[in-house]
Amino acid sequence: MITFDLAIIWAGIIGFGIIMYVLMDGFDLGLGILYPFAPDEESRDVMMNSVAPVWDGNETWLVLGGAGLLGAFPLVYSVFLPALYIGVFLMLAGLIFRGISFEFRFKSKKNRHWWNRAFCWGSAIATFAQGAVVGAYIQGFAVEDFVYVGGPLDWLSPFTVLTGLGMMAGYSLLGATWLILKSEGHVQQWAYRIAPKLLLAVLAVFAIVSLWTPLVSMEVRERWLNQLHLIWIFPILALVCAGMLFRAIKRQSEGLPFVMALGLFIFTYLGLIASKWPVIVPPNYTIWDASSAPESQLFLLIGVLFVIPIVLAYTAWSYWVFRGKVKVGEGYH
Amino acid sequence: MDLDPLLLSRLQFAFVVSFHAIFPVFTIGLASYIAVLHGLFYKTENPAWDRLALFWTKVFAVVFGMGVVSGIVMSFQFGTNWSNFSYATANFLGPVLSYEVVTAFFLEAAFLGVLLFGRNKVPEGVHLFAAIMVAIGTFISSFWILSANSWMQTPAGFEMIDGRFHIVSWTEAIFNPSFWYRFTHMALASFLTGGFVVAGVSAWFLLRKRDVEANKKALSMCLWLLLILTPAQAVVGDFHGLNTLEHQPTKVAAMEGNWETSGNVPLLLFAIPDKDSQSNLFEIGIPNLASIVLTHHADGEVPGISAVPVDEQPPVAIVFWSFRIMVGLGFLMIGVALAGLFLRRKGRVFESPLYLKVLVGMIASPFVAVLAGWIVTEAGRAPWLVYGVMSHAQGLTPSLTGGMALFTLIGYIGVYSVVFLIGAYYLSRVVRNGMLEEPVEVEGEVERPKRPLSAAHTPFDDDTDNSIEGAKA
Ligand code: HDD
Ligand code: HEM
Ligand code: HEM
């Protein structure tokens, strides 16, 4: 009984951590991807300044998720990481370079173009890797007797390349709508111009993935077509968000596009969970198979329940301090 | 030749963890030092303490940032290369490693920002409190990580069910038999690292006659500290070794280079251990001393390496020599600290260029000693991952191929080299800038919370920089 409860609680915590990570690190990674396309160096300053105070906090959710998985669902940890071996390395390398370019770009002039490059490539590679992880998760893993037995590049298939590119489009969309919220003048106008194009790209990938998924995963097909009709609510809500997003951009509203982009991500995410639940290591293992011992889950839960509210409060506070527009030529140096 | 994923993974783990370890050992010591400086300023109101605190906080910010970057990689290493091990030990290591991360976050979220950016924004008392909390936080972090490592050295408080470790007693597992020795030894190592770096940098400034008053204060303080801590480390190390003798006799045998279990064992100063012949090709030693150190009797019995089968023997030469490097540096440190006392009595500590130069040179010594110490500990337990229960080979990720391991090994070395060079270069600029007055805050400057590195304002390259010229003038 207690096992049952704890596994669900932990699934909730990890699920929450992941979506927090995707939403928050998503928009700053997205800005990194858009970086080379920005109209001028001035707008690059604005783009970076609009995320510099918060990106580091955004990334904490990734580390918390990684550590939490080892503590609560070790099977996930010990299957995903070997299966995604090369991808994990690329993601970490990307995140490292992106991280240090935040620090040093503003401190240098002569070498600034190097930091620009590190920022853009770091963001793009990390995002692609994350998207491919999602694709790999939909595909499922070759696991025998709780051990990954597949090859080093199983995670890289046409399907996962598509989800990787989709993630790049999605994060860019989050980034562009964030920029609409945080900037003004010609930077904002540029963001207004690219956002609809990005949205179209996202929707295209969305459509292809939706048609393709039932082909790569039998279980998912079953669930969508025969088992659970309520599940259709998620894609419908996602599409509603997309529609509202279009309109909001047309009317040049400032806050709504970002909110709708968040909604688009959240409903897609919920749809994904609903099509897999309670399987956590597809195709075969549920959250209960993947759990650590109940006493271990409980031991860790105490600390995490204590810290999460503090991290949330701190996050909220730093966004609050940093509210309002970022102006050209302003910011730290 | 086939690439061996096991060997490559061990190299990779050793590389990334050594790289990571350099930064925390320094930040742990430095955090405490900064807290002390804040305390002194709070009590005496002497601005010299405040300037020192400000300067070292900048250094702290950069080193801490590097520690975090390299730490994130660590938390994925267990899963990528040692997935069988992670899966089997997750019931213990999962929560314990998570607690280290959780502590780190808590610390960063709550206090680091105040320490780094709150100087003119919160009352000095609050600032002092934040400095103390950051120092305590670094210790809590190392508490958890060392508990994890010690448990792998001397596992306790568990039972095996279906090949997985299940914890029956959390207290026994967390406070396992080698934990307190390792924690104390490591805490002292951190203080020594902080102490020798601060002493060396102060000496460097004194050689250049910059900020003489503040740097004299800092140096004098450090020398007193080192005078106490260097011998203390030797004593703690001795106890640590005795404890290891009880729980991991083969490791001690390798440290001593002793092949056959016997009495009257000499303390070897130099030797060429050879696994093939199960003996030393050449050795110079002091008769009976190893027996005396380890058992307190001249004829006391010291375990031998050959007591275990060859495939359960650690790489003897590595353990043997790393141990000598660490202990040798330990005694060198004692000597340098004593020389300081001697010169002080003659009133010449701050004037002797030779001594100041020696101190500058000693900056590297604690880092080398720490890495050597870890190599003794970690290589000495080979072939075991969890001592006596699970070997390296059993813990390795089954799907890992030599090619994959080689790819990431080269990759990490590449990434870290770039990061390290940039960090070291930048750090040297921060230090050379010294204790200049802070640049006046630009109107509208957004001081971001949290991001450690932004606490250092030093520019990265020359054409954005004029402060260095200012410093030289
Ligand atoms: C929580 C666990 C933990 C901690 C705190 C450390 N290590 Fe470790 N170390 C391991 C867990 C581990 C391990 C996972 O158990 C490894 C990986 C493969 C192996 O041999 O053991 C290992 C291997 C390993 C090796 C290779 C030994 C061999 O294979 O012969 C070296 C040289 C080091 N480590 C060095 C260090 C250093 C310099 C550390 C300083 C912080 C350190 N370790 C902390
Ligand atoms: C396998 C070994 C290790 C792992 C998995 C690991 C993991 C991590 C991680 C993930 C971080 C970053 C946390 C953040 O974002 O703030 C970190 C930082 C830190 N680690 Fe480790 N670590 C290891 C070894 C060590 C050791 C041996 C020590 C010291 C005894 C240590 C002490 C610290 C400290 C004090 C920090 C805070 C950052 C700093 O001071 O530089 N860690 N570690
Ligand atoms: C001077 C005499 C010293 C003695 C007798 C001594 C003894 C030891 C022993 C026996 C070990 C291995 C413990 C084991 O795993 O079984 C060890 C490990 C270690 N030593 Fe030392 N040590 C000395 C000085 C130093 C110094 C000066 C430093 C650094 C400043 C240092 C840093 C370390 C570290 C980081 C480890 C690995 C972590 C651990 O197991 O505690 N030691 N030492």
Counted domains in chain A: 1
pLDDT at A147: 86
CB of B456 closer than 8 Å to CB of B61: yes
| Residue B389 domain flag | yes
| Residue A333 domain flag | no
pLDDT at B291: 87
CB atoms inside a 10 Å sphere around CB B228:
12
Taking only residues 276 to 315 of chain A, the set having a beta carbon closer than 8 angstroms to any beta carbon of chain B reads 292-293, 295-296, 299-300, 303-304, 307, 310-311, 314
Side-chain-side CA neighbours of residue B468 (13 Å): 14
| Residue B315 domain flag | no
| Residue B155 domain flag | yes
Q: What is the DSSP letter of B148?
A: H
pLDDT at A127: 95
The CATH number of the domain holding residue A158 is 1.20.1630
The Cα of A108 is separated from the nearest Cα of chain B by a number of Å equal to 5
Q: What share of chain B is helix, strand, coil (3-state, %, to 5)?
A: 70, 5, 20
Burial track A74-87 (b if 16+ CB lie within 10 A, e otherwise): bbbbbbbbbbbbbb
Q: Which residues in chain A are contacts of B94 at CB distance < 8 A?
A: 67, 70-72, 74, 77, 292, 296, 300
| Residue B298 domain flag | no
Nearest ligand, CA B255: 3
| Residue B324 domain flag | no
Q: What CA–CA distance (Å, rounded) separates A247 from B301? A: 85
Question: Residue B448 above 80 pLDDT?
Answer: no
| Residue B295 domain flag | no
- By Cβ distance, the residue of B87, B101, B459 closest to A146 is B87
| Residue B320 domain flag | no
| Residue A58 domain flag | yes
Question: Residue B472 above 50 pLDDT?
Answer: no
% residues pLDDT > 90 (chain B): 54
Burial track A13-52 (b if 16+ CB lie within 10 A, e otherwise): bbbebbbbbbbbbbbbbbbbbbbeebeeeebbbbbbbbbb
Enter the tokens of residue A93: 């390398």
Name the residue at shortest CA distance from atom 40 of ligand 1.
Answer: B21
Q: Of B64-68, B219-223, B460-464, which one has max mean pLDDT?
A: B219-223
- 3 state DSSP class of B82: coil
pLDDT at A305: 87
| Residue A271 domain flag | yes
Q: What CA–CA distance (Å, rounded) separates A178 from A51? A: 9
- 3 state DSSP class of A153: coil
Mean pLDDT, rounded, for B307-325: 92
Q: What is the CA radius of gyration of chain A?
A: 20
Taking only residues 221 to 240 of chain A, the set having a beta carbon closer than 8 angstroms to any beta carbon of chain B reads none
pLDDT at A318: 76
Which of A236, A260, A237 lies closest to A247, judged by CA? Answer: A260
Q: What CA–CA distance (Å, rounded) separates B387 from B158? A: 13
Digit-by-digit pLDDT tens for chain A (333 residues) are 455 578 889 999 999 989 988 998 899 899 999 988 988 888 888 888 888 777 777 777 887 887 888 899 999 989 999 999 999 999 999 988 888 887 777 777 777 888 888 899 999 999 999 999 989 988 888 888 888 888 888 888 899 999 999 999 999 999 999 999 988 888 899 999 999 999 999 999 989 988 888 887 777 777 777 766 778 888 899 999 999 999 999 888 888 999 999 999 999 999 888 888 888 888 788 888 888 988 899 999 988 888 888 888 888 877 877 777 887 765 543
Question: pLDDT class for B111, splitting at 50, 70, 90?
Answer: confident
**Helices B212-247 and B249-256 meet at what angle, rounded to 10?**
120
Question: What residue type is assigned to position B324 of the chain?
Answer: R
Asked whether the beta carbons of residue B80 and residue A88 sit closer than 8 angstroms, the reply is yes
| Residue A288 domain flag | yes
Whether residue B251 has its Cβ less than 6 Å from ligand 1: no
Q: Which residues in chain A are contacts of B12 at CB distance < 8 A?
A: none
pLDDT at B465: 41
pLDDT at A327: 75
Query: Residue B166's domain spans which residues?
Result: 5-231+381-471
Q: Which residues line ligand 3 (CB under 6 A)?
A: B 182, 185-186, 189, 192, 233-234, 237-238, 240-241, 244, 248, 251, 326-327, 329-331, 333, 366, 369-370, 373-374, 376-377
Q: What CA–CA distance (Å, rounded) separates A233 from B328? A: 70
Pocket test for ligand 3, best of B149, B377, B384 (most atoms within 8 A of CB): B377
Residue contacts between A and B (CB atoms, under 8 Å)? 210
Question: Residue B53 above 80 pLDDT?
Answer: yes
Ligand 3 atom at minimal distance to the Cα of residue B333: 27
Query: Residue A195's domain spans which residues?
Result: 7-318
Asked whether the beta carbons of residue B69 and residue A100 sit closer than 8 angstroms, the reply is yes
| Residue A283 domain flag | yes
Residue at token pair 């043997």:
B320
Counted domains in chain B: 1
CA of B367 to the centre of ligand 1 (A): 16
